[in-house]
Structure 1
Amino acid sequence: VVGGRLTYTSTDEHDAMDGELSCRVFQLISLMDTRLPHCTNEKIELAVLWFLDQFRKTYVGDQLQRTSKVVRPKNDVSRVPEKAWKIVKVYARMSEVLGITDDNHVLETFMTKIVTNLKYWGRCEPVISRTLQFLSDLSVGYILLKKLVKIDAVKFMLKNHTSEHFPFLGISETYNVGDFRCRTTFYTALTRLLMVDLGEDEDEFENFMLPLTVSFETVLQIFNNNFKQEEVKRMLIGLARDLRGIAFALNTKTSYTMLFDWIYPAYLPVLQRAIERWYGEPACTTPILKLLAELMQN
């Protein structure tokens, strides 16, 4: 219903239905997440993510920013734009049932859901991929970014983007190397969030890069000591995809310089050695070459 909305044909009945169904889906989300990881259903999870994306398109974003402060006039509803009034009615119902009173509460719900999925659905590529695309869509637009960085779930992600908290960032052989592609999407969105308040704070950037620093140092130790080919290869593939996402999202000279100073001269030789060693394996060389291309074209 939400995804098929046409403003010029919708009625008060449709608005009420949107509000009621939205409440039920948000209640379902809470119930499902309390049962993780013991009780899961991939099809329902994908359906929920589709709903959240449709809700985002219809009720979150610039139009929500313009209408979230609209209140119902006591005597004259004609002064309220029709589109704004429809959005207000949906939020009014959600406020009654769920206590969701404004866009900040909606965004908190979105981000909590995203973090939960990344924690518990690490072995399910379709759910992880769809969740990360949803995160990426949310991270486009300065108004939303300013709101998102204030949310605890976002602060948690910015400080804890490791496989310990998000298993899909791991290098276990149980994960298909092709699934590592989603890591680029993750780090692109994460870096957009970082950029909101980064400015010229090099310490903040170093803290953000710490998990990747640890990974590169581990690769160096493996290269220099007991060489475990498959482990280091998978680690480098993941790092290349992570760094490509970061490089793609850096849109200022200052932030790009921070990344370049971090990667050169300390870690570029590691990537060179990887190319020399696995030159015949596209699964390894392609992510590294795409990273280098992104660094050169930024």
Structure 2
Amino acid sequence: MKLVKTPLTMWKHFRISLNFFLISEEANRQIPADSYGLSVTETKLAWFVHIVAAILKAKQTSNFGGESNEILDAELAARTLQLIYIFDTGLHSRRYGDVSKQRLDRAILTFLDYLRRCYIGDQSVLSSKLYARLSELGLHDHTLLLNAIVGKIATNLKSYTKCKEVIDQTISLLLEMASGYVTAKLLFKLDTIKHIISNLNREQFPFLENWDCFRSRTTLYYAIGMLVFMEDSPMKFKSSMEQFLQVFVRLESTPDALFQSDAVKYAFIGLMRDLRGMAMATNSRRTYGFLFYWLYPARMSLVLKAIEYCADVPEVCFLLFIL
């Protein structure tokens, strides 16, 4: 007789594996960590988290409900959310360069995406069963759950400096949430989002300095711009552009002899990519006017200077033309 693996059966396997890992985690506090053992555990858990994400995806696409399924979702979500805390603290906070850790975080991002689609997004359903279980973790409603998701996004952007795959998937999740009317409204009220917007610099988020991730900056500022332009407020727009202004001032004060240096060119290219993301987020004539009149004429001197000294640099000219 062939054994059919139902979601409940898979959940039992997941729970056994997680409980075993929690016991191992307790032991790891007392003995030197086994890097290979942790890699194996992370790989196994990544596989289990993908299964959880697949269950949530099936729920979203089939609209199959039922009390038993709600209880199952609640248990799966609670256990997986506990993993996020475990793997972003202690010994694991130094393993962001390991491939197995990256695989696990990508699986967690996939899980978070389907979790918010089912229970937070524009087509989500309210589930008392889910939040009754998550309240044990301090997540009493959809706002707190969304804040936990944004917290994971912020952690990834701060911790990953070179893994473009994780960075891109993290930013894509933020963009997906910023694109939804309901989630965008909720996001705009979160202190974590306000912290990201006001502290989006290379000291807080080192990946911004990684040349391989320069294209990702455009997507990130596209998502940030969508949130900034939600309220159509000139004051909030100006405050969000404060960091851009600092970069403009620094580059404008650069001596002509140094303007063709790699450091200055990279800084200018990054600035243009960020501004392009903000421009993509303008959704009306009014919001486009905010950005246009912020740039023109006060800050056009830097643009003209870049054209004069970097006319032979394709990356610079391309960004100037598409901005």
Indicate if the aligned counterparts of 2:217 and 2:273 stay in contact, CA closer than 8 A. yes
- Equivalents in 1 of 2:305, 2:253: separation in Å? 13
- Equivalents in 2 of 1:44, 1:110: separation in Å? 15
Give the TM-score of the pair, scaled to structure 1. Answer: 0.80
- Equivalents in 2 of 1:226, 1:272: separation in Å? 16
Q: Deviations over 1:58-103 (max 9, x none)?
A: 2221233xx43xxxxxxxxxxxxxxxxxx433333323x3232221
- Equivalents in 1 of 2:260, 2:122: separation in Å? 50
1:94 alignment counterpart: 134
Shift of 1:134: 0.4
2:79 alignment counterpart: 24
- Quick one: which amino acid aligns to residue 277 of structure 2? G
23 and 272 in structure 1: CA distance in 2 versus 1, 3 angstrom threshold? same
Indicate if the aligned counterparts of 2:260 and 2:309 stay in contact, CA closer than 8 A. no
Shift of 1:18: 2.0
Shift of 1:270: 2.4
- Equivalents in 1 of 2:152, 2:63: separation in Å? 32
Give the TM-score of the pair, scaled to structure 2. Answer: 0.74
Indicate if the aligned counterparts of 1:184 and 1:243 stay in contact, CA closer than 8 A. yes
Shift of 1:279: 3.4
- Equivalents in 2 of 1:193, 1:184: separation in Å? 14
- Equivalents in 1 of 2:81, 2:192: separation in Å? 17
Indicate if the aligned counterparts of 1:200 and 1:254 stay in contact, CA closer than 8 A. no
- Equivalents in 1 of 2:268, 2:181: separation in Å? 32
- Equivalents in 2 of 1:210, 1:99: separation in Å? 35
- Quick one: which amino acid aligns to residue 220 of structure 1? E
Indicate if the aligned counterparts of 1:187 and 1:243 stay in contact, CA closer than 8 A. yes
Segment drifting more, 216-225 vs 2-11: 2-11
Shift of 1:225: 5.3
Shift of 1:141: 2.5
- Equivalents in 2 of 1:254, 1:59: separation in Å? 33
Q: Deviations over 1:218-256 (max 9, x none)?
A: 212224354451011101110111001111112233332
- Quick one: which amino acid aligns to residue 38 of structure 1? R
228 and 200 in structure 1: CA distance in 2 versus 1, 3 angstrom threshold? closer
Percent of aligned pairs with the same residue? 34
Shift of 1:181: 0.6
Shift of 1:257: 2.0
1:2 alignment counterpart: 56
Gaps of 5+ in 1: 69-86, 292-298
Shift of 1:182: 0.7
Indicate if the aligned counterparts of 2:132 and 2:140 stay in contact, CA closer than 8 A. yes
Matches within 5 A, 1:44-63: 44-63=104-123
- Quick one: which amino acid aligns to residue 33 of structure 1? D
- Quick one: which amino acid aligns to residue 56 of structure 1? R
Q: 2:192 aligns with which of 135, 138, 153?
A: 153
2:221 alignment counterpart: 187
- Equivalents in 2 of 1:17, 1:223: separation in Å? 63
Shift of 1:10: 5.5
218 and 56 in structure 1: CA distance in 2 versus 1, 3 angstrom threshold? same
Task: Give the number of equivalent residue pairs.
Answer: 263
Structure number with the bigger relative contact order (C-alpha 8 A, sep ≥ 6) is 1
Indicate if the aligned counterparts of 2:117 and 2:123 stay in contact, CA closer than 8 A. no
Shift of 1:8: 5.7
2:164 alignment counterpart: 125
- Quick one: which amino acid aligns to residue 81 of structure 2? F
Indicate if the aligned counterparts of 2:175 and 2:220 stay in contact, CA closer than 8 A. yes
Shift of 1:147: 1.4
Matches within 5 A, 1:1-298: 1-5=55-59, 7=62, 12-35=67-90, 37-40=93-96, 41-64=101-124, 67-68=125-126, 87-95=127-135, 97-170=136-209, 175-176=210-211, 178-201=212-235, 204-224=236-256, 226-227=258-259, 229-291=261-323
- Equivalents in 1 of 2:164, 2:139: separation in Å? 31
What is the DSSP-based 3-state SS (H/G/I as helix, E as strand, rest coil) of the residue aligned with 1:2?
A: helix
- Equivalents in 2 of 1:9, 1:262: separation in Å? 50
Segment drifting more, 99-108 vs 43-52: 99-108
Shift of 1:198: 4.4
- Equivalents in 1 of 2:260, 2:202: separation in Å? 20
Indicate if the aligned counterparts of 2:178 and 2:227 stay in contact, CA closer than 8 A. yes
Indicate if the aligned counterparts of 2:122 and 2:181 stay in contact, CA closer than 8 A. no
Shift of 1:145: 1.9
- Quick one: which amino acid aligns to residue 20 of structure 1? E
